[in-house]
Amino acid sequence: MRRPNVEELARKLRAGDRAGLARAITLTESRRADHRAQARALLQAVLPDTGHGIRVGITGVPGVGKSTLIDTLGSNLTAQGHKVAVLAVDPSSVRTGGSVLGDKTRMARLSSDANAYKRPSPAAGTLGGVAARSRETMLLCEAAGFDVILVETVGVGQSETAVADLTDFFLVLMLPGAGDELQGIKKGIIELADMIAVNKAEGEGAARAKTAAAEYMSALHILVPPTATWSPPVITVSGLANEGLDRLWALIIEHRRKLTASGEMAAKRSAQNVKWMWALVDDRLRTKMRSDAGLRRRLPALEADVARGRVAPTLAAEEITTLLGLE
């Protein structure tokens, strides 16, 4: 990639140029030191053009219908005049170096929609680093005029917290037929939820979805809401049949209105910015660890000594930080 011109890229972003947006995102995902410096300058340049988007995180177990719901919801929104960006945070890419596959086939309508843009997470680094790159992508999309950002967590585990820290509204999708599934819900995920939507509430699944919604609502009653301003609702939807999505979006807008009026939305975004800063610091430290030749030579033996109980972890940590010049 030729050395980018920050001013030129910033102009292209503000003009909504899709090729410019793609190039800007690729720049932020680069590990080259000169590219990272250019990316930082670009983000600083377009920062006044960001922050206007409605940022929605969406999670759910595999098979819950996230991609179908996002495809339908996103298409509804573009038909109403919105510009929609879909980002994916994929923890499996952290473990294997792979990328999100099949999104273009799972979201067929959005893939061919001129007012939609889809981007998988970068396939390298820690989950914190992946989330940090996704935040940069989100800001670039906002600078390019996208006013709705849908962030999908493709995997499970820590990624839910990462996506909740990226977004204004966290939507948890559930399957019909709560029953035993209710017992398997991770309390941490429910505590993050701004709304629970029971998906696949079409045809014969409609009655089971209503029953599941009632059980999830009962479960929510035993938890303390994250804010006094908003009590997470439980609704039924069908991404496949495009049912209940207008209400889902109306509730997202209501949540935004209430938290903006109370000042909580601004406070939430401020706290997220601080977390982003520390995620970037952590990512930079890990990058330095990987690139330090002396540490790479020493680390295998040091790890072996710690594993065998020959060296205390505290002493090993001190040696690592000393080698990195942090002591």
Within-domain flag for 113: yes
**Domain count of the chain?**
3
Residue 4: predicted pLDDT: 64
Query: Which amino acid, one-letter code, is at 178?
Result: A
What gap in Å lies between CA 324 and CA 288, rounded to an integer?
8
Residue 101: predicted pLDDT: 41
* Domain range for 201: 51-261
What gap in Å lies between CA 37 and CA 256, rounded to an integer?
34
Within-domain flag for 269: no
Sort residue 17 into left (φ over 0), alpha (ψ -120 to 50) or beta: beta
Sort residue 237 into left (φ over 0), alpha (ψ -120 to 50) or beta: beta
Residue 61: predicted pLDDT: 81
Within-domain flag for 110: yes
Residue numbers in the chain where pLDDT is lower than 50: 95-105, 180, 183
Looking at the fold, whether 42 and 62 belong to one and the same domain comes out as no
Residue 201: predicted pLDDT: 93
Looking at the fold, whether 34 and 111 belong to one and the same domain comes out as no
Looking at the fold, whether 12 and 57 belong to one and the same domain comes out as no
Within-domain flag for 266: no
What gap in Å lies between CA 101 and CA 302, rounded to an integer?
38
What contacts 26, CB < 8 A, 6 or more positions away? 1
Looking at the fold, whether 111 and 133 belong to one and the same domain comes out as yes
Looking at the fold, whether 120 and 21 belong to one and the same domain comes out as no
